[in-house]
Structure 1
Amino acid sequence: MSQEPQEERRALVVEDDDDVRALIEFTLSTQGFVVQAVDSGLAGIEAVRTFDPDLITLDVGLPGIDGIETCRRIREFADAYIIMITARDDEIDRLLGLETGADDYLSKPFSVRELKARVNALFRRPRRGVGAVASQQPVAVPDHEVLEHGRLRVDVDGRRAFNGTLELALTRTEFDLLAELMRTPARVWTREALLRSVWGTDWASDTHLVEVHIGNLRRKLEGDSGEGRHIRTVRGVGYRMESVDS
């Protein structure tokens, strides 16, 4: 019996450093991607429209419009996985705080092994459609896996989350974190366990990613007040869902 051909995966590398660009191109090609590379943000936006990649690696320090603005523009029309690449560790907080729409972050210098691990982890996660926005209208939820906790409701298969009748505009990572916490609301999740479950990685140095994403998720669930009303920090351990009747 002949096997059906696997669907071709495409990757776009947006990087102005020749050496880094060549390294990423080579690494992704060894993972089976058809790779295209450009050296500026504007060229990257145009390439997304014409090349339709499944994965984008996007340098923060691009000439012209930087990687943050490039990411914002790409997210208006494309749902490719995006890995932001930064030259400084302390930029990660700023990137996450700006909610660029990226799915993961890498700091230079990075190893080929780490890049491959992060790409593999991303492709184990479902992609969310473009243009998710908040809605004040009640929305019927299809009859499939739905998680409920107090006023929170997560339609796992439809990739939609609600606080009462308000639909939440969550990033992929925020959605995955909320769903994981709500599946076992009494469990205290360590940061390392969330890294393995949501990011698919065991990189201990990345636990700070969990903290920042949890902070962003809390703000979307609760606004500037009421921190901890939905997600409780268990000091010295990690996080769990707050008791409904508390």
Structure 2
Amino acid sequence: MLKVNATVYLREFLIVCHLGGGVPLLKALVIDDEVSVRSLLRNCLETDGFSVLEAATENEALDIAARTDLSVITLDLYLAEGDGLSIARRIRGRSNVPIIMVTGRDDPIDRVVGLELGADDYITKPFHVREFLARVHSVLRRSLPSQPQSELSTGDAANGGAMQFDGLTLLLDQFELIGRQGERCGLTTADFTLLMVFLENPKQVLSREQLLKKVAGLEWEPTDRSIDNRVARLRKKIERDPDHPQLIKTVRGIGYLFAWATASLVNMSDLDLNT
């Protein structure tokens, strides 16, 4: 079974990238109409080494997101000028940047809708700075490629690798999926994370609670169907026939099972990608 250590790989990946110069590697966009909240999050993120941009309205947020290579976005759901869910939908339509939803209401419906739109995590106000940073680090770990300790070395962090299964190729350093005909399948960060969970746990039945915890760090509730929606979205990208899935099997009353026994780990130099 493939074993990975995303935390170790993230640290190695960032070290390799930082060797290139003194420009901040990670850029964050804080979207909130409260000046005090933006200031708090800016100070928090800058202390942690981020370069931080701010937006108070939907138009400002979409403009910055369109012209900036961002590492993470924090997004207030309820803006005076704009709708957080609309912003998330439009950003996710063109980018896989991790999005953390921030709201003053702990509403399960908001959480489910946000996750279904492709948000990677959800946090309610008020929150502790340490909890916020932990959530940011968590989505960054999930958005960067996981790395098998036994087969890829520290130096490979800059070169990346790939995993192949059922005619598909998953590019670990780009979190992109190459289809059976050589097409790029457009994985979101949430898609990539869910697929990695399945690849790390082949032939194992995973409950909805386990999947939601691994993918989003959230507790599952019986009425929460967000993980089912994520699985359905991923099936459309990896199954030969999504209506009759052979890779991600439903285990009634429990959850899901990834039926492919072993994914092959290959070096990027060994791939012939005509894309």
On whether the aligned pair clears a TM of 0.5, the verdict is yes
2:51 aligned with 1:34: yes
**TM-aligned CA deviation for residue 119 of structure 1:** 0.6
Residue 61 (structure 2) pairs with residue 44 (structure 1): yes
Letter in 2 for 1:159: F
- Is structure 2 residue 112 aligned with structure 1 residue 85? no
Deviation at 1:120, TM superposition (A): 0.4
* Residue in structure 2 matched with residue 161 of structure 1 by the alignment: 177
Larger RCO: Structure 1 or Structure 2 (Cα < 8 Å, ≥ 6 residues apart)? 2
CA RMSD of aligned residues (A): 3.8
Q: Which runs of 5+ in 2 are unaligned?
A: 1-17, 146-159, 262-275
What corresponds to 1:61 in structure 2?
Answer: 78
TM superposition shift of 1:148: 0.9
Alignment of 1:216 with 2:233, yes or no, is: yes
Give the match's secondary structure for 1:169: coil
Please report how far the alpha carbon of residue 196 of structure 1 lies from its aligned counterpart in structure 2 after TM superposition.
Answer: 6.2
Corresponding residue to 2:219 among 204, 209, 222: 204
1:197 offset after TM fit, Å?
A: 5.0
Structure 1 window deviating more from structure 2 (34-43 vs 178-187): it is 178-187
Question: Are the aligned partners of 2:213 and 2:220 in contact in 1 as well (CA < 8 Å)?
Answer: no
Larger deviation, residues 154-163 vs 58-67: 154-163
How far, CA to CA, are the matches of 1:96 and 1:147 in structure 2? 27
**Structure 1 residues 121-200: aligned runs within 5 Å:** 121-126=138-143, 144-149=161-166, 153-157=168-172, 159-161=175-177, 164-165=180-181, 167-191=184-208, 193-194=210-211, 198-199=215-216
- TM-superposed deviation, 1:105: 2.8
Number of positions where the alignment pairs a residue of Structure 1 with one of Structure 2: 222
In the alignment, the residues of structure 1 paired with residue 135 and residue 210 of structure 2 have an alpha-carbon distance, to the nearest angstrom, of 16
Distance 1:123 1:225 in 2: 29
Contact 2:72 2:140 in 1 (8 A): no
CA shift in 2, pair 1:242/1:39, >3 Å: same
Which amino acid in the other structure matches residue 232 of structure 1? K
TM score, norm. by length of structure 2: 0.62
How far did residue 43 of structure 1 move?
1.3
Aligned to 1:13: 30
Tell me: CA distance 1:222–1:62, structure 2 relative to 1, closer, same or farther (3 Å).
farther
Is this contact kept in 2: 1:38–1:44, CA < 8 A?
A: yes
**Offset from partner CA, 1:73-98 (integer Å, 9 cap, x none):** 4456655432222433311222333x
SS in 2 for 1:32: coil
- Alignment gaps of 5+ in structure 1: 129-142
Inter-CA distance 147–191: structure 2 relative to 1 (3 Å threshold)? farther
Superposition deviation, residue 66 in structure 1: 1.6
1:94 equivalent in structure 2: 113
